[in-house]
Chains A and B, each alone.
Chain A
Amino acid sequence: MSAHPQLDSQGRLQHLLTIDGLPASIITQILDTAQHFKETGADSKKLPLLAGKSVFNLFFEPSTRTRTTFEIAAKRLSADVINLNVAASSQSKGETLLDTVDNLSAMSADMFVVRHAESGAAHMIARHVAAGIHVVNAGDGRHAHPTQALLDMFTIRHFKGSFQNLRVAIIGDVLHSRVARSQIHALTTLKVPEVRVIAPKTLIPKDVENMGVHVYHDMQKGLKDVDVVMALRLQNERMNGALLPSREEFFKYYGLTPEKLAVARSDAIVMHPGPMNRGVEIDSAVADGPQSVILSQVTFGIFVRMAVMAILAENT
C-alpha cells in the first residue's frame, strides 16, 4: 500500500479521494481550470472534453445537490451520465460493493463518482478498479468530501482574492463532518495562516489540533476578527442525546446569528455546504444576509466539478 492512493508515478491526479496529501499545485490547477470554465462561459455551451466517456454516479447515500451538480458538470463536458441510486437496488439484494463496481466497470465505465456512508469506501473502490478508470469521492462517511472543499476554496479565492493573511473559522459538528476534514486539509495546504474550529467538546474529534487548527469552544472568541465563517450542517440525529441536549441550546450557543457574526471582520463572508438547518446552525438573517455567499458556492461547485473531471480525463 505504498503507492500514492490518488496520484500516478508522474504525480498526476488519477483519482480524487481526499485533500489529505494532495499537493497545493494540484489544488491550484483545479481552481485555475474551474476559473477558466467560469470565464469562458462554460455554463452556456457544451465542451467536448469528456465526449464518448461514461460517468457513473454511484450514490450509496441519498444526495440532491452533490449528485445534481456532478451530473450537470459531466453533461457540460459531453459525457454520458448514468445515475445509480444503489441503496435502492443491488446492495439491498446482497451484492457487495466491489461486485457492483465490477459489474459497472464491465459496462465500460470511465469514471465513478461515489458517495458512501462508510469512511474509506472511495479508497477501496479506487484500489480495486482497473487502470484508466477514475474515481471521484463525492463523500465517504466522516472522512472526506474533496470537491466540496475545493469549491469552498474557489469561493474564498473569488471573494478574498488569495489565501494569504486570512483567518477562517469552521463552526459546528466537526466530529462527524467529512466536509470539515476536507476543508481543514485544503486550508492548511493552501497555507491559510489561521484556521479555527468552534464547537462544544462533544463535537470536536481527538487530537484535531494535529491537523493544524486552533480549537475554540466560545463563539465570541472564535469568531473574533475572522475573514471567513464556514458553518457545518448538524444532522438531526445528533441534536437530542448525549452529544447535545437540544437544538435550541445548540442554536443559542453555537448558532450563527447576526449578533455573533458581528465580532468577525465587517467584510467577512459566510459559507455553508448545505442543506441548511435554519434556526439550528445558522439564522435565516445570516443565511440570506449580505455576507452570505452560500448560493455562489452552489454555482461554483459546477465549475469545480467540471475541472476535476476534465483533469482526470486528461490524465487517462
Chain B
Amino acid sequence: MKILIRGGRLVDATQKLDKVGDLYVAAGRVVGVDRIPDGFSPNRTIDAQNLIVSAGLVDLSARLREPGYEYLATLESEMTAAVAGGVTSLACPPDTDPALDEPGLVEMLKYRAQGLNQCRVFPIGALTTGLDGQRITEMAELRDAGCLGFSQAMRPIADTQVLARALAYAATFNFCVWLQPQDAYLGRGGFAHDGEVATRLGLAAIPVTAETVAIATIILLMRETGARVHFCRISSARGLDMIHQARLEGLPVTCDVGVHHLHLSEMDMGWFDSNCHLSPPLRSITDRDALRAAACSGLIDAICSDHSPVDEDTKQVPFAESSVGATGLELLLPLTLKWGKERGLSLGETLEPVTTKPAQILGIAAGTLQEGTLADICIFDPNAEWKVEASSIVSQGKNTPFLGYNLQGRVQLTLVGGQVIFDRSPKSNKNAQ
C-alpha cells in the first residue's frame, strides 16, 4: 500500500520541519518528506489541504481498564478513542485487576491489543506484585514480555526499604522506574489540594508536601542506587523546583504532567464538581502556571492524557465518594494545542511533548516523521471547533471537567504503520480501503 498525503502542513520538530508539502508512505513507513521517492506511484491519495500532518501522538498514560474493569471500558472502546484522538502509541499503567505483575498478563494484553489493530499499546509493568508495595516483581521477565518501564500507578510504596530495593533492582538492568510522587501518609484520606478551596468546601485535603516529600525521598534513593526515574503527573511548583535541581545535578530524571493540570486549578472544582476529582489533585493557580511554564521550558518532558474512563454513576455521588480520574485520549490534542497557543509556541514546539519527547521516554522509534520511521501519523484540523459532550466522545468514559466546553483542534485521519485506522470524514467507508 502506497499512500500520498498531499498538500498538508508538515510539522515535525525533530527535523525543524514546518512547511506545506507532500508526505509519501510505503510498506508502513515514511519514505519521502516533501520529496517524491523514485518511481513512487500511490494506491491512495489523501488530500490534506488546510490540515496539519504530524507524527501520531504518544501518550504516556492511558488506562484501558483491561483486565478486570471491562465494565468501565474495554480495549476496543478505548483504543478506538485513542486513534480518534490521534494517539498512535500509548503506555498503559499496571493498575488493572489483576495488576500487570506477571509476564503472561502482559503478553495477553499485547496480543489482544495487536489483534484489534488500532494503536500501539505499551504496558508498564507493576513494580511490586499486586502493587502491594512489599515484594518486587520479576522485572526482567516482564521486560522480555514487553514492559517498557515499571510503576506503582497511583499506589505509593510506603516502605522506603522496599522502594530503595526496587530502585536498585531496576537499576541493575537499567530499567526506568515510573513513579507518581505521593507520600503514602501525608495525603491519606484527602481528595483535594490543601488550599483555600478545600478549606471553603470542607474537603479533606492532600498537601503539596505529599508530593515534595516523596520527590525528596526518591531523589535521595536515585543518588544511592543509580536508578533512572520518570516522575509521573507532577502537580506543584515546589515539586518542579526539586526536579529542576535533580536535573542540574545530572541525575537521570524525566517527568510528565497530566493535560488537565495545564489548564485547571482548585478553583475549577466550583461547587463540588466531581469531574475535577483527579489524582494528583488540581492545585493552586500558582502551581498550574508553574506547570504551564515548565512544559514550555522543557523541564516537563511530556504531556499525557492520564486517561481514566469511569462509570458515570460513580461521579454522581458526593465529591469525596466519587471515582478518581477523567477521560482524556480525545482531549489530549485540543488541550495541548490550546496550551501552546496561549503560551505563544510554534506548532512544532507545541507538539513535541506529546510526540517526540514521550517516545524518547518510552524508548520507542515513534513521534517523528523522519524518512524510514514507521508511518504513525496524525492529520488534524487545528481550527475545527467542537463541543465536548457525551455524544462527541468515543471513549466509554464521558467524565471530563471540560464537558460543555468548545475546543479547537480535531483529528481527521490517523494512520498507524501506514494504514488508515481512523477517518472522520463521512465518506470514510469508501476511502478506507
Residues of chain A whose beta carbon lies under 8 Å from any beta carbon of chain B? 1, 5, 20, 96-98, 116, 118-121, 123-124, 140-144, 178, 181, 205-208, 210-211
Contacts and interface: CB of A to CB of B under 8 A. Distances in A.
Contact of A118 (B200, B316, B321): B321
B332 to A, nearest CB: 23
Given A1-B271, A96-B313, A206-B194, A120 B319 contact: yes
5 contacts: A96-B316, A120-B201, A120-B272, A181-B202, A205-B205
Contact of B195 (A5, A142, A143, A206): A206
Contacts of A120: 201, 203, 271-272, 318-320
Nearest to B194: A206
Contacts of B194: 206
Nearest to B403: A1
A5 B207 contact: no
B202 A121 contact: no
A121 B318 CA distance: 5
Contacts of A211: 199-200
B371 interface: no
Contacts of B241: none
- The prevalent SS among residues of B at the interface is loop
A178 B201 CA distance: 9
B205 A124 contact: no
Contacts of A144: 202
B47 interface: no
Given A143-B201, A205-B199, A118 B271 contact: no
A1 B269 CA distance: 10
Contact of B202 (A124, A178, A206, A207): A178
The list of the 8 closest CB pairs from A to B, nearest first, reads A142-B202, A120-B272, A143-B202, A118-B318, A205-B199, A119-B202, A207-B196, A121-B318
User: Which of B200, B270, B318 counts the most chain A CB atoms within 10 A?
Assistant: B318
Nearest to B207: A206
B198 interface: yes
A5 B273 CA distance: 12
A41 B321 CA distance: 44
B432 interface: no
A97 B196 contact: no
Interface of B: 194-196, 198-205, 207, 270-273, 313, 316-321
Contact of B273 (A1, A97, A142, A206): A1
Contact of B271 (A96, A123, A206): A123
A20 B200 contact: yes
B320 A118 contact: yes
Contacts of B204: 142
A283 to B, nearest CB: 28
Given A96-B316, A118-B321, A120-B319, A142 B203 contact: yes
Nearest to B192: A119
Given A5-B271, A96-B313, A123-B272, A116 B198 contact: no
A96 B270 CA distance: 23
B199 A206 contact: yes
Contacts of B317: 96-98, 124
A45 B205 CA distance: 47
Contacts of B205: 205-206
Contacts of B313: 96
Nearest to A181: B202
A208 B205 CA distance: 13
B201 A119 contact: yes
Given A5-B271, A206-B205, A116 B199 contact: no
A119 B316 contact: no
Nearest to A126: B271
B197 to A, nearest CB: 9
Contacts of A5: 271
Nearest to B275: A1
Given A96-B313, A96-B316, A97-B318, A141 B270 contact: no
